[in-house]
Chains A and B, each alone.
Chain A
Amino acid sequence: MDDLEFDGLELDELSFRRKIFADPKSRDEDIAHAKKSAPKKQQLARELEQLDDKITQALNVPVPDHLYEKLILRQTMQDHQQQKRKKRVHLAMAASIAVAFGVLLNSFLFTSAYSTLGEHAIAHVEHENISNQGTTFVSLATLNEKLADFNGALEGISSATVSKLLAAEFCWFDGMKSLHLVFQGENSPITVLVVPDNEQLKFTANFSNNNLHGKAQQVKAAGINLIVVGDKSENTDSIQESLSKNIRWQA
């Protein structure tokens, strides 16, 4: 049993048996050598290989019909559900963001709907909520304080007119800081708006809708528009005349 190629220890009966039982297909050198050198070992190895064929056959139980198709179907369905859920989440998020933005940027949305100065003025006044039967009135001093922001000052006006000033507040008109004045009218308030010049809004001298009418006047030197808006039944002209005559504008 001369074997010049093999350097390892000859596997004894027990060791060979353990190895071949644990792995009949083993390609280990010592196994191969042992098989070559001992016919009994080779015989045992063959028997184990036969046993393994039978074991393989026994372990290979039948697989359910169409298992592959079922697996793919289930996965694509689940994937579809996940995509739908993601889309729903995206939509919900988009909707809530839109609402939030809508609340925050209401004025912006508001603006874009109006293209002329007059339209915007009317819309602006319609959202006003000041009673014609005010109990407090704004002083001339207060008015001039605010008018100063627009380089204007009211002087020499009849006290009768001034005594009818119900409110004088800053407001946002098409994104621009403007002055919003409310005078007591015959039956309903008359609004005067001091609005900086705006290229985006088309200037209209006369405008009206169902209930309101108004006039606008450009004061180019001061870069402002003087707008008067009131109920159709009100005479807005006298206020407008009085103001435009008596406000001194600085360039």
Chain B
Amino acid sequence: MMTKQIRYEALVKALHTDLYRYAYWLCHEKQIAEDLVQETFLRAWRALDSLKDEKAAKSWLITILRRENARRFERKRFDMSEYEEENISDHISSSTEQELETHWLRAKMAQLSEEYREPLVLQVIGGFSGEEIAAILSLNKNTVMTRLFRARNQLKDILVATPEEKRGINNG
């Protein structure tokens, strides 16, 4: 059906980037993230008729993706050694201050506890409100807000260090 195809393509175009990034922070591996996104969109295609409101598309897709991820295997505690090397180490010598900071922040982000990182990712990448995040994660809103606070609190402490101190941490 023409309409379904057009609708689907519009959805993919608008949301595949955010969905990929969300998937990446969920599983920490590019290939798995891509596979998750593929699976998610395939399921979305099959169930597209059940999506009544385009505005709900993003949370719908995220819910599907989270289910797909849960299906993969049990969540492992994040281990620094599993983090993809290239995201931290490449271009270090020629990078700008900002690139360094981004690389470094990504490493710290990956080190965050899963329960703090997820709400943060949903809020920043997904643009969801506290209520929406609570619905997606099946938590109450207060819990979500507390975790968001803790996530940013941890990250802010890290960034309080001056650029010189940060470089020291990288090379030392």
Contact = CB atoms under 8 A, between A and B. Distances in A.
Interface of A: 18-19, 21-24, 47-48, 51-52, 54-61, 63-64, 67-68, 70-72, 74-76, 78-79
Given A22-B145, A51-B159, 6 more contacts: A21-B153, A22-B152, A55-B109, A57-B105, A58-B106, A61-B24
B38 A64 contact: no
A57 B8 CA distance: 28
Interface in B34-76: 34, 37-38, 41-42, 45
Nearest to A50: B159
Interface of B: 5, 8-9, 12-13, 16-17, 20-21, 24-25, 30, 34, 37-38, 41-42, 45, 87, 98, 101-102, 105-106, 109, 120-121, 123-125, 130, 145-146, 148-149, 152-153, 155-156, 159
A61 B105 CA distance: 12
Given A59-B121, A71-B16, A51 B37 contact: no
A19 B102 CA distance: 25
What's the dominant secondary structure at chain A's contact region?
A: helix
Nearest to B158: A51
Contact of B105 (A18, A55, A68, A75): A55
Contacts of A61: 21, 24-25, 87, 106
A185 B77 CA distance: 97
A22 B149 contact: yes
